[in-house]
Amino acid sequence: MSQKIVLYWHPMSSASPIASALAELDVPHERVKVDIRAGEQRRPEFLALNPNGKVPTLTVDGAPMFEALAMHLFLGETYGVDKGLWPAEGTPERLQAMSWCVWSYVTYGAQLMRLQAARDMGTPEDAHGTAAHKAMDELLGLLDARLAQQPWMLGDAYSLVDLCVGSVIGYSAYIGAPLQNHKHVTAWMGQLQARPAMQIEAT
Ligand SMILES: N[C@@H](CCC(=O)N[C@@H](CS)C(=O)NCC(=O)O)C(=O)O
């Protein structure tokens, strides 16, 4: 299959994990920088691709898509199976892959947004910030229990599920999520962040 893929991105943003996924998959693509600090995401030609005016935005043979989570699932299903980086359709692992990816962006992501909002208000210790911190600690406990049993999210081998889940967990650590209480998560994040495809900001 040879689709023309274009990733609209900005360094150190929600688009970075998608750039890393494309690198892990070795999918030929074009990368177009959208300077979100200069407001380029609000240009009409960009809003025609993504009415939200956000990166990442991806086009596939000219057809646009938005939301990083949707891109992780699309890239995994389309390019990952042949490369051994995404489970085949119809397997129990495929169900787990989808579940954990959605869990990270939606369930864990909701608490992350709550903590982020409290931080933005300058009140991370208020009721919202404290509740978000506690909820994240509990959710990280689920992840830690899984990673105590196996080195990677789906078992013995790295997959794009590690990249998807790890990118959300990594950002949450940056804003103060209690990763230090979860030693398996911390060790897994170290392995993940050492991968060449995660050094994408330098390229
Ligand atoms: N839910 C979206 C969030 C995307 C997002 O918030 N992108 C930010 C960069 S990290 C952005 O483009 N901000 C520009 C703006 O809001 O004007 C996703 O996961 O793709």
The CATH code that applies to domain 92-198 is: 1.20.1050.10
Mean pLDDT of 92-114: 97
Q: Whose CA is nearest to atom 16 of ligand 1?
A: 54
* pTM reported for the whole predicted model: 0.96
Give, as one character, the DSSP assignment of residue 87.
P
Q: Whose CA is nearest to atom 6 of ligand 1?
A: 54
Report domain extents, the chain.
Answer: 5-85, 92-198
pLDDT tens digits, one per residue of 134-145: 999 999 999 999
pLDDT at 105 over 60: yes
**pLDDT the model gives residue 127:** 85
**pLDDT the model gives residue 71:** 98
Could you tell me if the CB of 67 is within 6 A of ligand 1?
A: yes
Number of the ligand 1 atom closest to the C-alpha atom of 39: 17
DSSP result, 132-201: HHHHHHHHHHHHHHHHHH-SBTTBSS--HHHHHHHHHHHHHHHTT--GGG-HHHHHHHHHHHTSGGGGGG
- The CA 15 to ligand 1 mean position distance, Å, reads 8
Number of the ligand 1 atom closest to the C-alpha atom of 55: 12
pLDDT at 1 over 80: no
Q: Ligand 1 pocket: which of 46, 54, 58, 164 to mutate (most atoms <8 Å of CB)?
A: 54
Structural contact between residues 173 and 189, judged by C-beta atoms closer than 8 angstroms: yes
- Tokens (6 digits) for 98: 């989808």
Judged by average pLDDT, the poorest of 84-88, 94-98, 125-129, 166-170 is: 125-129
Mean pLDDT of 104-119: 95
**pLDDT the model gives residue 202:** 52
- The CA 14 to ligand 1 mean position distance, Å, reads 6
pLDDT at 200 over 90: no
- The CA 137 to ligand 1 mean position distance, Å, reads 25
Architecture per CATH, 5-85: 3-Layer(aba) Sandwich (3.40)
